[in-house]
Amino acid sequence: MASVDAEISRATSRGSSKRHIPAPPRGDIQALRAFAVAAVVLFHVWPLAIPGGYVGVDVFFVISGYLITSQLLRLRERNALRLGAFWSARARRLLPAALLVLVVSTILTLLFAPSAVTTQYLRSIVGSTLYAENWVLAADAVDYLAAENAPPIAQHYWSLSVEEQFYILWPLLLIAATSAVLSRRRPRRAVVIGIGAVTGLSLVFCIVVTPLAPSFAYFATPVRMWEFGFGALIAALPALSLPRSARSALWVLGWVALAFTAFRFGPDTPFPGYAAILPVTATAVLILIGPSAPFRLAAIQEARVVRWVGDNSYGIYLWHWPLVVIAPAIVGAPLELWQNVLLVTATCILAALGKRFVEDPLRFGRLATLQPRTILLGTASAMVVVSAVSGIPALAIAATVQSRTEAAQSEVADPAACRGAAMLLNDDCASARASEYASDDLLPGLAGLYDDTDGAFACYASGDAPIEPCHIGSSSPDAIRLAITGDSHAAMLVPGLRDIAERSGWSVDVYVGRGCVWSTDPDPTCAARQEALNEDLLGKGYDAIIVTAWNQIDASDEIRTARAEQFAARWKVAMNAGITVIPVLDNPGVPQSSADCLTTSPTFTLATCSFPASGFLLTDPLSLAARSTGANTIDLRSAFCTSDGMCPMVAGGVVVYRDLHHITATFSHSLSPYLADQLNSILDAEPTALP
């Protein structure tokens, strides 16, 4: 995001005490920066007005690739490239402002962030301080349990993390290319070949990965490296000589393409993938043709306001997102138009102040004369301090919440305490249903909501992983032997089932994983795991197999029917072998409005943040499969919704859901007495064999 200017050259001239005065940046590049940061900010503030504004990040990547490569090649050709000096110049340019914003973000988080997202925000600040936020978000994107987490306060640092990783790797690549034996006479050719190879491989990777794992592709550095490569190729190739008319035509086409992507792309555009080629190419072309603009459009490109936004684009980018995230929590409601205008204004003011009193003094003042080693040591120390400032509170909050939740486990599982499921399932709790609980007294504590799994996913596997069940309960050969299988919704029953196994002396094997549940799903990627799972479930002498799976809200009736048939085909074989199959019907899903309400309400009754069962308690394929096989189902859905058709987010002071469709481990513990009753009832009955 930041300009490169000439401080890298300055940093290579060690020992000089003169303050560096930067050369004025190119007006066309400042205009591109202004467009990029305006697109990103407006997209975050008014996403419906500029739905493709996220392409501004791609514009920044191309600019960085061009400017960094230009500087590195000039230094390399003069034999003046020193890695320590280069990296210290980048650190001095980028880190002070970035760390300042992260410190302020930490303060805002601790003061104003909803409890449910506090630790998540603090962790993102730590990841951003270490310039690894893109990999944190990429991991969350492929982590089924984290994929629905709210956007953290430092999420926008993902692009800065990608840039920092580029700054570390790119000079090493250029040094390697220009040091090769065959490149000594023609170093530029070697550079072009090296850049072209890296760019081509990254682009292919981007095109392949985007449709398979779009969220991962969006954040991963190798997927984005080609965008820097486009800018780098412009820097490495000879200047292009074009007639004025051709330059004018390319200028118009480039800006039209950028405007098109900003206003016509949107959340449904597969991105980056093929779609990113348009804004990246348009940016590269605009840099290639140089600063001249056709007709009288140069006046717009060189306008004072455009240049000011370009000059301050780094600070604007840094400051805008924390304000976007935290402002609704401060005012207690979504922002109105005038409040969003104030937010954008405050962003610009903070950016200008940061540039005047933080960025420029450290770039061009006396500190710029320090030795690179000193600068790198100082910035590394600052990063450690900021990480500690954010990380220590996150760890302390998480430890406190976990300790309190663990201490209340036995109480939650006691029906007489009227906590969790007992509030609706225990008739003796009727008088307690009007009780009110402060948000600070909820279990699990909202600050640890996303982490409330209590080992449910200890052996959770992906679709292609080998079959390696976990064991809970008794190891006695005479114990009742059960297996539980299914997806993440089966996993969330494990905490409660563990309670039952330990109390009853049952032996339970846990087969849970993402996708490839126990059915005859024709997906070829599931074939091997399906067969291995089926072999284990049928061949290990289980008395019963408990099965559950996510009943997706957006599935059509045709899909539900097909899934029911696929379940039934597996169950029939097991039932004919004398194994009892026990399907547990799925819990309802949660509307986003109720999930948002959970993070902001100060007190809770059964009615607080509740949602109607209609539309969320849908026909379950497990129920359809049970009808066709005669399997006895366990239906605990009355623990989730009241008799008048409303589904609470909090029952008896226990938070029911950790996200839009997974229950909390604490609520799972509260289900255990009722799950045990129904399991015992089915196990005591004679199994039914089918022809």
Grouping H, G, I as helix, E, B as strand and the rest as coil, residue 672 is helix
Q: How many CA atoms lie within 13 A of 71 on its CB side?
A: 25
* Close Cβ partners of 81 (under 8 Å, ≥ 6 residues apart): 12, 72, 75, 171, 174, 175
Q: Please report the pLDDT score of residue 631 as a whole number.
A: 94
Beta bridge partners of residue 646, listed in sequence order = 612
Cβ atoms 446, 603 nearer than 8 A = no
Please tell me the distance from the alpha carbon of residue 126 to that of residue 110, in angstroms, as a whole number: 14
Map tokens 């009753």 to a residue.
Answer: 677
What tokens appear for 57 in the block? Answer: 């990040």
Q: Please report the pLDDT score of residue 468 as a whole number.
A: 84
Beta bridge partners of residue 78, listed in sequence order = none
| 514-562 residue pLDDT tens | 777 899 988 887 778 888 899 999 999 999 999 999 998 888 889 999 9
Among 537, 486, 141, 152, which residue's Cα sits nearest to residue 326? Answer: 152
Q: What share of the chain is helix, strand, coil (3-state, %, to 5)?
A: 60, 5, 30
Phi-psi region of 456 (alpha: psi -120 to 50; beta: other; left: phi over 0): alpha
What tokens appear for 582 in the block? Answer: 């026990």
What tokens appear for 457 in the block? Answer: 């996913």
Dihedral over alpha carbons 246, 250, 253, 256 (to 10 degrees) = -130
Cβ atoms 513, 549 nearer than 8 A = no
Cβ atoms 92, 421 nearer than 8 A = no
The whole-model pTM stands at: 0.84
| 482-508 residue pLDDT tens | 999 999 999 999 999 999 999 999 999
Dihedral of alpha carbons 546, 552, 556, 557, sign: positive
Query: Region 240-256: what's the mean pLDDT?
Result: 89
Domains along the chain with CATH numbers: 7-393 (no CATH), 410-684 (3.40.50.1110)
Cβ atoms 103, 389 nearer than 8 A = yes
* Close Cβ partners of 96 (under 8 Å, ≥ 6 residues apart): 358, 359, 362, 382
Between vectors from CA 404 to CA 402 and to CA 407, what angle results, nearest 5°? 105
Map tokens 């002396």 to a residue.
Answer: 505
The pLDDT of residue 312 is above 90: yes
Between vectors from CA 80 to CA 79 and to CA 83, what angle results, nearest 5°? 115
Dihedral over alpha carbons 158, 164, 166, 172 (to 10 degrees) = -160
Considering only 106-120, 290-304, 617-631, 644-658, which range has the smallest mean pLDDT? 290-304
Please tell me the distance from the alpha carbon of residue 453 to that of residue 332, in angstroms, as a whole number: 29
Query: Region 586-607: what's the mean pLDDT?
Result: 91
CA–CA distance from 9 to each of 17, 90, 236 (Å)? 14, 11, 18
% pLDDT > 90, the chain: 64
Q: Please report the pLDDT score of residue 10 as a whole number.
A: 45
Please tell me the distance from the alpha carbon of residue 562 to that of residue 542, in angstroms, as a whole number: 27
Please tell me the distance from the alpha carbon of residue 453 to that of residue 443, in angstroms, as a whole number: 13
Between vectors from CA 139 to CA 134 and to CA 143, what angle results, nearest 5°? 150
Q: Please report the pLDDT score of residue 109 as a whole number.
A: 95
